[in-house]
Amino acid sequence: MNNILNQIGIENYIFLCVILFCIGVFGVLYRRNAIIVFMSIEIMLNAVNLLFVAFSTYHQDAQGQIFVFFSMAVAAAEVAVGLAILVSIFKNMNTIDVGKLKNLKG
Amino acid sequence: MDTSLILVLLLSPFIGFLFNVFLGKKAGKTIVGIVGTLSVFISFAVTLSFFLQITQTKQAITVDLFEWISTQHFKVNFGFLLDQLSILWLLFVTGIGSLIHLYSISYMHDDEKMHSFFAYLNLFIFFMITLVIGSNLLMMFIGWEGVGLCSYLLIGFWYKNQDFNDAAKKAFIMNRIGDLGFLIGIFILGSMFTTIDFTSLKTAISSASDTNDLWMAIAALCLFIGACGKSAQIPLYTWLPDAMAGPTPVSALIHAATMVTAGIFMITRMSFLFDMVPSVQNIIAIIGAVTSLVAATIALTQTDIKKVLAYSTVSQLGLMFLALGFGAYEVAVFHVITHAFFKACLFLGSGSVIHGLHGEQDMRKMGGLKKAMPITFITMLIASLAISGVFPLAGFWSKDEILMTAFHHNIALWVIGSIASIMTAFYMFRLMYLTFFNEFRGTEEQKHHLHESPSLITIPLIVLAILSFIGGIISLPGNSWLNDYLAPLFSKVTQEEHSFGTTEYTLMAIATIGALAGIGLAYKKYLKENTIPSEDENITGLTKVLYNKYYVDEVYDAVFVKPINVLSNFFRDSVETTLSALVFGLGKATFQLASFGRRFHHGSVGFYLSMFTLGICALLTYLYYCNNF
Amino acid sequence: MDVTTLLIILFVGAFATYFSGDKWAPKVALLISLAAFAGTICLLSQYNSGQEISYFKIWISKPAVFISFYADGLTLAMLLLTTALIPIIIYSSFGNNYKNAKAFYALILFMTFAMTGTFLATDGLLYYVFWELSLIPIYFIALIWGNGDAEKRKKAVVKFFIYTLAGSLFMLIAFVYLYQKANSFLIGDLVKANLSSTEQFWIFLAFFLAYAIKIPLIPFHTWQAKVYQKAPTVGTMLLSGIMLKMGLYSVIRWQLPIAPLAAKEFMSLFIGLGLVGVIYGSIVALRQKDLKKLLAYSSLAHVGLIAAGCYTLTLDGLRGAVLQMIAHGFVVVGLFLVAEIIYRRYETRTISEMGGIRSQSPKLTSMFMLLVLASVALPSTFNFVGEFTVLYSLSQINIWFALLGGTTIILGAYYMLKMFQHVMLGETNVKIFNDVTFNEGLSLVLIIAVLFFFGLYPKPIMDLISPSLENIITLINRIN
Amino acid sequence: MSIILILFCVLSFITLATAFLTIYSRNPIHSAIYLVICFFSIAGHYLLLNAQFLAIVHVIVYSGAIMILMLFTIMLMNLNNRNDVHKPRITRLGAIVLFILMCVVLIGIFINSKPIVGEYISTGEDYQSIKVLGKILLNEYMVPFEFASILLLVAMIGAVLLSKKEKITK
């Protein structure tokens, strides 16, 4: 079986993932809606996952994919807890604008 | 045998001290007095046996108990040395000590703290014995500081009066200034000769080449400063008059007869050192002469009976130092002994007077006591004659020898010394006339109670008066027992017998005439004209300066005490707070930094994240470029 | 039996005290401290008969850290001081009823444990751990059981804690640097590390900061007076009697052998610093209004002299310093105890509110007088032996040093006697003053007995410490 | 240009575009939908890389579970009308600058780091079939796998606890 990367090239995946990751970072910085921030985080996670899979193919080794499984598990847990926190914040403060969550102020 | 005898000699007063401290209150006043006196008397008896022994064997006794302190250069043993000098000293310390203890039984009988008084006195005798029989400088130093301590305790015996406490403190601190000099002297000698033992020091110093002359001179000077402190010489003499705050027996024992002569003892002990450094000897002679004159002038105008005697003591000590300065150690020792007799007698006499007047010490309020207190009067008269140097009493011989020595070495100092002794005659008889002659000037009630003191007081007086009378025989010119006795101690052979010629007789004549002139002046002024020293506020002119002791205390206060206190306040209020503020300043700076940093933590998540991203960029860049280049 | 037994006794004892409950805690603590003292005596006899009492075991393999306890004469002398003082300190505190006594006494024993460890440890890191460990109990003792306004007390105590901690951090840095050089924290390896004189200078300085704050030397002493004043008397005793000696001991044990070149080069400077402390402390003490503060400044003056003795780098200097350390330890505990005894009756520490105690309490007066005399180094007291030796060593360096150091004889007498006069003498005080109780008296008598016994016969201690100090001198004078 | 490359380019374009739109669109619902598309395109990438099982799991977990959860949350909060208030210009500018900076740094590093891309080896063995993955997962990664389950359990409990109505209210 031919390696698919022969035709695409690992560099392209790297560029794609970097840009995807940066978009995620941009989203976190740009938006103040906590849910969108969450989505941006998911984007970043996915960028990394994609890179894992790409390298897994590159090395012809399944370990990278295993890692992605775990990453997904963690992401799922994180979203569940994170959204629960968001809901309770919303219930308490009636907003999910991160700009208004200033209780950390020292 | 010797060891145990020495221990008996030493520990007997100490046991007396312990007894009086722990059991004194329960035992009652009589037993306290008996135990206190007896313990000193035992020491005296032991000393007598040693004395008899040494006059026959002429061998010094040394005993080393155990090693005490050791340094790299020398070891100090807990050891004792009994030679002619120390036994002689012991004789009059324990002898006069016993008499004064006896006297105190009656004198202090009304004081509720009699047991502690006797405890302190015993402790004093213990330390004095240690001082005298110590075999090295450091052992001597134990006694040296110990007697200073007892002096402190006894001056401040009536501790409820803070002025007395001040006087006690002053005495202790001034002594300590001298003690520092003493210590430094010990350090220099110890490192130079690797021993501070008297016997080995003597050999080492006598065989030393003159290369270290300067250091030896410094060492000698330092020791002399120590002696100055203890023996109340200029500039450290001001504590002694204040020390009269203590009970009168204390003044007699400590501040006239024994402790204050410790400086003379030390210099005599170290004569081998002082003989090597003539420059220091000159200083000693000059200081001695000046002290004797200054103290005598102050004594002229004092009205407190004990103050007069105190300044007289300072003056006499000055004369002794004058003799020491000329290397005439046995002359100084001779005067120490005679002085101990008549000055103790005078003090005890004044104590008897004060006792009779219920604590009155001002001579302006005395007078006419001759009839009421005949024994006191006669004994004091004898002692006064002795101190004035009237032939043939003890003082005449010793003082004359000092002046003669001075005359042979330095005319100027002889003149000073002679003037001082003429003044002595004057102020002593001023004291006598004011106290015992004319009419009584006190209150009616005092007059009513005037009486002769009990026999426990008068017996010591009589004994001392007799001694003052005949004390001179131990060293008559030309045939001196004392000089022969002490001869083994002094290396110098220069003390050849003065050929007894016309000069000497002339000098004796001059001295006697001088003494009589002083007495005559006093007679004219205080008996014939019946002058009474004016009240404090009426004193003017030179008299005022003298009456106020040349304002030395005030000057010392302004130059030393006040600046130190001001400095202390300054340190406490300014420097301490500044230092503290500096440390707190460091803390505050951290705090400032924190509140500056706090402004970046305003709780904006976006800002945090931006910084976080920026940090990651920076980190990546840094890592990347560091690994590549 | 080796030295760990002692540490175990104290460590387990601290817990035993805590669990014995408030009522029994003082007695249990006293018993354990006595056991520790007995243990030290055993160790001493074993040491004298030449048996091995050290303990050596690997703790962390990388970086190489050893549990290394080693006791020579010097260490044993310090242990004797510690374990002899602790029972006295505990016993003397029986007159006070402390709240939560079990924790209080447990902390005392724990602190003793830490201090003992500090004296024993010869591995730099272990030593550092114990060094810092000893700070924690005293912090709580001073903070919780101290006196005066709580806010002010907190300020003083926290300042003390942070100050000493900050100083010690420099020492840690020095140790880490030394580890880089020698690949070991053991003192034996550290002295063999070939350090240039510049390196030695910086290491010397780092150690100096830690020790100068702990001892404390001028101008790092600002924490001292306040903490001594605010801490409960037991805490003050622990601080001034033992903890301060930790700093001085460390100078001899660690600082001088590791950086001898720097010590030699800047000898005059550091001696000078000590002597300035002597004079400064004495002068400040003159006008203190608070009894405990006055004693604190007198302590500053005395340790200045001890430090000056250490920095002379002569056998006499070190020997005198150690003797004086022990003597000062006892006398200062005694003096603070007297202050406490007065406080128990008059509820004040202000000198001007005292006075006239003598006629009501002759026993206390006599004992106080003896302590004052020991403090001003009257010959025949232990302090004199130490002070004499130190001053002699100073005179070997320069006679002016001896003269300056000697001012303590004069100024010391001045402020101590002045204090004594205003505290005890004068007109009988109107307030009732009960004479000392049995346990107060016994504590004082024990202290005085020690001071006078060794003052007349210091040879046992001299012989104990001399060989180890000679070794240290050899280390200092080694040629790198 | 092979068909696979074209496919890759198209997929990549979709991925980036939808990701960007997710962030850019004002309406959270729109964002969510764009994100779902984004996830699907990533699943496409997985398929392209021949990781079928992963692709399926990805679609189930992300597009299915996570996105549904998000949508529910958005609807629960009724956020669709609640647009972002205008962010301060400086924040937006900062975000853009940082975005560009991050891209430049990362891409710059990747370009400059001269990656050693050798021959694309092909072992020929089917390393990513479900069978192989299962074996690795349940042999080598047994313990982490179990931990992952515990993690999920804990997350579930946490989520329930957090969103439960608190009895004590201020």
Query: Domains of chain A, with CATH numbers?
Result: 32-97 (1.10.287.3510)
Which of C213, C324, C410 should one mutate to test binding to chain B, selecting the residue with the greatest count of B CBs within 10 A? C410
User: Do B616 and B541 lie in a common domain?
Assistant: no
Residues B232-264 have pLDDT tens digits of 888 888 888 888 888 888 888 888 888 888 999
User: Do B517 and B405 lie in a common domain?
Assistant: yes
The predicted pLDDT at position C141 comes to 92
Nearest CB to D73; choose among A6, A83, A97? A83
User: Do B517 and B624 lie in a common domain?
Assistant: no
Check if the beta carbon of residue D62 is closer than 8 Å to that of residue A46.
yes
Q: Could you give the angle at which helices B29-57 and B2-22 cross, rounded to 10 degrees? A: 170
User: Do B384 and B458 lie in a common domain?
Assistant: yes
Tokens of C8: 């175990």
Residues B3-60 have pLDDT tens digits of 888 888 888 999 999 998 888 888 888 888 899 999 999 999 999 999 998 888 888 8
User: Is there a domain that residue B358 lies in?
Assistant: yes
CA distance B541 to B553: 18
CA distance D83 to D31: 12
Number of helices and strands (H, E) in chain C? 22, 2
Tokens of B448: 């009513």
Kindly list the residues from chain D whose CB atom is less than 8 angstroms away from the CB atom of residue B628.
Answer: 112
Burial B184-199 (b: 16+ CB within 10 A, else e): bbbbbbbbbbebbbbe
User: Do B500 and B618 lie in a common domain?
Assistant: no
User: Is there a domain that residue B557 lies in?
Assistant: no
CA distance B303 to B361: 8
Tokens of C188: 């034996």
CA distance D61 to D56: 9
The predicted pLDDT at position D170 comes to 47
The predicted pLDDT at position C32 comes to 94
User: Is there a domain that residue B208 lies in?
Assistant: no
What ipTM score was computed for the predicted complex, to two decimals? 0.77
User: Do B610 and B478 lie in a common domain?
Assistant: no
- Nearest residue on chain A to D31, alpha-carbon basis: A36
Tokens of C265: 């080069």
The predicted pLDDT at position B159 comes to 87
Nearest CB to A28; choose among B602, B603, B609? B609
CA distance C325 to C318: 10
CA distance B44 to B99: 11
CA distance C291 to C345: 14
Contact B609 A105 (CB under 8 A): no
- Which of B287, B149, B275 minimizes the C-alpha distance to B227? B287
The predicted pLDDT at position D80 comes to 53
Query: B542 CB near a chain C CB, below 8 Å?
Result: no
CA distance C44 to C51: 10
Host domain of residue B398: 280-547
Q: Which residues, 6+ apart, have CB-to-CB distance to B306 below 8 Å?
A: B244, B248, B251, B347, B350, B354, B361
Query: B614 CB near a chain D CB, below 8 Å?
Result: yes
Contact D45 A20 (CB under 8 A): no
Residues B379-397 have pLDDT tens digits of 888 998 888 888 778 888 8
User: Is there a domain that residue B22 lies in?
Assistant: no
**How many CA atoms lie less than 13 Å away from C267 in the CB half-sphere?**
19
Nearest CB to A98; choose among B602, B606, B613? B606
- Which of B284, B290, B274, B361 minimizes the C-alpha distance to B321? B284
User: Is there a domain that residue B454 lies in?
Assistant: yes
**Ranges under pLDDT 70 in chain C:** 480
Q: Examine the pLDDT at A57 and tell me if it is beyond 50.
A: yes
The predicted pLDDT at position C281 comes to 92
CA distance D76 to D62: 19
What kind and span of H or E run contains B66? strand B61-70
User: Do B538 and B617 lie in a common domain?
Assistant: no
User: Do B430 and B537 lie in a common domain?
Assistant: yes
Domain boundary among B547, B574, B609: B547
Kindly list the residues from chain A whose CB atom is less than 8 angstroms away from the CB atom of residue B603.
Answer: 101-106
CA distance B157 to B164: 8
Kindly list the residues from chain B whose CB atom is less than 8 angstroms away from the CB atom of residue A32.
Answer: 606
Domain count, chain B: 2
Kindly list the residues from chain D whose CB atom is less than 8 angstroms away from the CB atom of residue B602.
Answer: none
Q: Where are the domains of chain D?
A: 1-86, 125-165
Position B520, amino acid: G
Nearest CB to B613; choose among A25, A98, A102? A25
User: Is there a domain that residue B456 lies in?
Assistant: yes
Mean pLDDT over all residues of chain B? 86
Check if the beta carbon of residue C296 is closer than 8 Å to that of residue C284.
no
Residues C119-141 have pLDDT tens digits of 999 999 999 999 999 999 999 99
CA D88 to chain A, closest CA, distance in angstroms equals 10
Nearest CB to D61; choose among A1, A16, A76? A76
Check if the beta carbon of residue C330 is closer than 8 Å to that of residue C382.
yes
- Nearest residue on chain B to A32, alpha-carbon basis: B606
User: Is there a domain that residue B607 lies in?
Assistant: yes
Chain C, window 287-326: residues with a beta carbon less than 8 angstroms from a chain B beta carbon: 287-288, 314-316
B75 beta partners:
B70
User: Do B305 and B420 lie in a common domain?
Assistant: yes
**Ranges under pLDDT 50 in chain D:** 170
Cα A32 to the chain's mean position, in Å? 17
At B76, is the secondary structure helix, strand, or coil?
A: strand
**Ranges under pLDDT 70 in chain B:** 1, 209-212, 491-500, 627-629
The predicted pLDDT at position D28 comes to 86
Residues B328-346 have pLDDT tens digits of 888 888 899 899 988 989 9
User: Do B431 and B499 lie in a common domain?
Assistant: yes
Which of B164, B176, B222 should one mutate to test binding to chain C, selecting the residue with the greatest count of C CBs within 10 A? B176
Residues B576-595 have pLDDT tens digits of 888 888 888 888 898 899 88
DSSP B64: E
User: What is the DSSP track for chain A?
Assistant: ---THHHH-HHHHHHHHHHHHHHHHHHHHH--BHHHHHHHHHHHHHHHHHHHHHHHHHHT-THHHHHHHHHHHHHHHHHHHHHHHHHHHHHHHS--BGGG--TT--
Domain boundary among B547, B571, B588: B547
CA distance C12 to C32: 9
C66 beta partners:
C58
Residue B373, class by beta-carbon neighbours within 10 Å (0-12 exposed, 13-18 middle, 19+ buried)? Answer: buried
Yes or no: domain D1-86 corresponds to CATH 1.20.120.1200: yes
- Is the pair A, C in contact (3+ CB pairs within 8 Å)? no
Contact B603 A25 (CB under 8 A): no
Backbone angles phi, psi at A20, to 5 degrees: -60, -40
Q: CA torsion, points B214, B216, B218, B222, in degrees to nearest 10?
A: 180
How many other C-beta atoms lie within 10 A of the C-beta of residue B367? 20
Q: Name the pTM for this structure.
A: 0.84
Which of B614, B619, B622 should one mutate to test binding to chain D, selecting the residue with the greatest count of D CBs within 10 A? B614
CA distance D107 to D115: 12
Tokens of B14: 């100490």
User: Do B493 and B615 lie in a common domain?
Assistant: no
CA A104 to chain D, closest CA, distance in angstroms equals 19
